[in-house]
């Protein structure tokens, strides 16, 4: 179930938001600590869906600062009015008189960490007589989510286990797979009652929350930062369109990506996309890598094959196909189109390595330009290319210019990595940035008479290849691109 907390502060505003929430969620939570003087009888008499009544004290992360007797009196009133649920804290549950049909959620909140003895805490809540046990705790390490899932897996008691903060999003999405009783999600951005809540419409529509079950396969994106990634929207749309029982979630891995991959093997994750800064550092976590990864030294795709983690790189074929299409169309000159072409590549990270190695194998003559000279020179030496300082790229005459850096990405949309003087008519300009869909670099390239390859095209091509490797099905590219454009606000 999806539950939307109502954090409005007047009876009329609460009633209005209850009805709005009922169109999205299965039940709502009336947070009386935000509005202790609200007319509870009126709200319950006209409720459009089941409700949880909560009055959270400051000591447990709520807003109520009055006398404890007054706070518990509000909850007792909810019981007397036959609310479907009341939520009361473990340390005061014995002071609540139960009755009628009201079920009691006994809860504990920790806004600083994941409690060290999570099993013991859960057992204490169950022993208190809870109809539903609830623990909400701050996730400070992505692997703390695994501890929540272990409790859900072992218990048969109705339980809500939620990780707070950005790193806890994993628990909010995947908890349903392991039997989480419900998840809290906000009515809209800015209406959260706890850190890490996502809008309920996003949880329902993008992640397909109600479709997640014990047999749902897990895929995900490893990266940092990751909050604004388009991959979850695109991949979940692809799974939904193709009828695949799977969900794709963002994993923000800040440190030790190898440790993360090893720890999450217990989750039977079916595949990963990998983005910055982990395309190279994740390699030691693989059991096998293919020849492309061996040559490039970076991967963007992880698959499970016979119980083994296998790394590959779909950036390479996607980039080459996009460039060949720009040079001659899908039925054009093919791989020979790149032979002998002069190419300027801006950047020296994982994406740059993928493009550079692929182009080198096609016979292109490559120049690498990078902000950090040492890294740029190292990549140039590895592929037999020439290095050019970033402030000298105007001296390079290139048939193809490829930007693999984040320069020009939202919100810094007025920046460009390439001076306009470099943009010569007839050249192909390829920008890996896809947000915005037309960067300043691409706009100026178009105005200068260049052919352009957008980051959207590269992104969809590499994502489609990932989907096909994972599922063995043709990728629904149109559905994937529609999802990307909708997420970018450009349907």
- Residue 96 has which token pair? 């609540």
- Residue 277 has which token pair? 């800064």
**Catalytically annotated residue among 87, 177, 279, 431:** 279
315 catalytic, yes or no? yes
Residues 184, 252: Cα–Cα separation, whole Å? 20
Residues 200, 186: Cα–Cα separation, whole Å? 6
109 catalytic, yes or no? yes
Yes or no: say if 452 and 445 are a contact pair by the CB < 8 Å rule. Answer: yes
410 catalytic, yes or no? no
**Which residues, in sequence order, are bridge partners of residue 54?**
31, 87
The helix (run of H) or strand (run of E) holding residue 135 is strand 132-138
H helices of 343-419, where?
350-361, 373-383
**Catalytically annotated residue among 108, 122, 134, 278:** 134
46: exposed, middle or buried (Cβ count in 10 Å: 0-12, 13-18, 19+) = exposed
**Catalytically annotated residue among 33, 87, 109, 278:** 109
H helices of 387-472, where?
440-447, 455-471
Longest Cα–Cα distance in the chain: 82
Other beta carbons within 10 Å of 456:
21
Residues 489, 198: Cα–Cα separation, whole Å? 19
**Catalytically annotated residue among 33, 87, 144, 315:** 315
- Angle (nearest 5°) at CA 391 between 386 and 397: 55
Give, in order, the Cα–Cα distances in Å from 399 to each of 36, 43, 312, 353. Answer: 68, 68, 28, 19
Yes or no: say if 236 and 248 are a contact pair by the CB < 8 Å rule. Answer: yes
Yes or no: say if 437 and 420 are a contact pair by the CB < 8 Å rule. Answer: no
279 catalytic, yes or no? yes
What are the catalytic residues?
A: 109, 134, 279, 315
């Amino acid at each position: 179930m999806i539950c939307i907390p109502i954090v409005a502060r007047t009876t009329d505003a609460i009633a209005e938001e209850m009805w709005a929430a009922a169109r999205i969620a299965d039940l709502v939570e009336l947070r009386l600590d935000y509005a202790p003087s609200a007319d509870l009888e009126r709200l319950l008499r006209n409720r459009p869906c089941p409700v949880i009544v909560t009055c959270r004290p400051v000591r447990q992360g709520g807003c109520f600062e009055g006398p404890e007797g007054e706070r518990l009196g509000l909850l007792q009133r909810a019981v007397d009015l036959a609310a479907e649920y009341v939520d009361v804290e473990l340390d005061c549950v014995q002071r609540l008189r139960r009755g009628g049909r009201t079920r009691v959620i006994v809860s504990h909140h920790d806004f600083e960490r994941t409690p060290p003895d999570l099993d013991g805490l859960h057992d204490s809540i169950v022993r208190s007589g809870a109809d539903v046990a609830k623990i909400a705790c701050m996730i400070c390490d992505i692997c703390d989510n695994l501890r929540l899932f272990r409790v859900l897996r072992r218990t048969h008691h109705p339980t809500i286990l939620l990780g707070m903060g950005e790193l806890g999003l994993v628990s909010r999405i995947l908890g349903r797979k392991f039997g989480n009783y419900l998840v809290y999600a906000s009515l809209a951005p800015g209406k959260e009652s706890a850190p890490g809540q996502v809008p309920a419409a996003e949880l329902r529509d993008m992640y397909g929350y109600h479709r997640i079950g014990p047999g749902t396969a897990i895929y995900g994106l490893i990266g940092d930062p990751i909050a604004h990634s388009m991959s979850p929207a695109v991949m979940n749309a692809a799974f939904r369109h193709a009828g695949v029982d799977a969900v794709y979630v963002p994993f923000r891995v800040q440190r030790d990506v190898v440790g993360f991959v090893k720890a999450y093997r217990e989750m039977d994750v079916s595949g990963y996309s990998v983005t910055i800064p982990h395309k190279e550092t994740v390699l030691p976590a693989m059991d096998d890598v293919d020849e492309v990864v061996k040559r490039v030294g970076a991967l963007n795709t992880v698959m499970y094959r016979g119980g083994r983690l296998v790394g590959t790189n779909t950036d390479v074929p996607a980039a080459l196909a996009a460039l060949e299409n720009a040079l001659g169309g899908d039925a054009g000159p093919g791989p020979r189109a790149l032979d002998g072409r002069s190419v300027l590549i801006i950047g020296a990270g994982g994406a740059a390595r993928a493009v550079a190695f692929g182009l080198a194998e096609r016979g292109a003559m490559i120049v690498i330009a990078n902000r950090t000279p040492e890294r740029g020179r190292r990549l140039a030496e590895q592929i037999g290319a020439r290095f050019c300082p970033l402030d000298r790229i105007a001296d390079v005459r290139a048939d193809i210019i490829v930007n693999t850096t984040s320069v020009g990405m939202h919100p810094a949309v007025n920046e460009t990595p390439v001076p306009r003087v470099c943009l010569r008519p007839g050249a192909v300009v390829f920008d890996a940035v896809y947000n915005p869909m037309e960067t300043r670099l691409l706009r100026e390239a178009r105005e200068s008479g260049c052919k352009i390859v957008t980051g959207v095209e590269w992104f969809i091509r590499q994502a489609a290849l990932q989907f096909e490797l994972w599922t063995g099905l043709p990728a629904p590219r149109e559905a994937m691109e529609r999802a990307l454009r909708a997420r970018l606000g450009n349907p």
